A = this chain, B = another copy of it.
Amino acid sequence: MNTILQTISNLIDKSSVAFISYIDEQGFPNTKAMLAPRKRENLTAFYFTTNTSSQAVKYYMENSKACLYFCDSSSFQGITFIGHAKVLQDQANKNAIWQENDEIYYSKGVTDPDYCVIKFTAKKARYYSKFKTTDLNIT
């Protein structure tokens, strides 16, 4: 892996939160923080736990266009991924990223109907560091 991709991987792996964006019914972008992804496949797929009742889930089921953003503001670095988000409600995917103590968020446990998975699949990425922007081919 080249240096820039390794730097980005490190930035992601040390992030405690990620920022996801979706498009609402009036065409506005909406952004919110999420717990860091529980699993990722290189820089192309990211899996998040979330509430089935959330606005993000509602709107991703209508329009999968999504953004995923990580940043380290102390070092002026950020990585913006553009791609598609899919809501996964099958038990296998829910089991795959469940962790001990997730009952804090989903009181009924891993089968809680209010627990589901968002899979974000990146199609392109843009990295910012020290006033410089780099478009990346990640697929």
Contacts and interface: CB of A to CB of B under 8 A. Distances in A.
Interface of A: 16-17, 19, 21-24, 26-33, 55, 65-67, 69, 71, 73, 78, 80, 82, 105, 126, 128, 131
Contact of A30 (B16, B33, B67): B67
B31 A67 contact: yes
Is chain A's interface secondary structure helix, strand, loop, or mixed overall? strand
Contacts of A30: 21, 29, 67, 80, 82
The 8 closest A-B pairs by CB, nearest first: A21-B29, A29-B29, A31-B69, A29-B67, A17-B73, A28-B65, A33-B71, A31-B67
A13 to B, nearest CB: 16
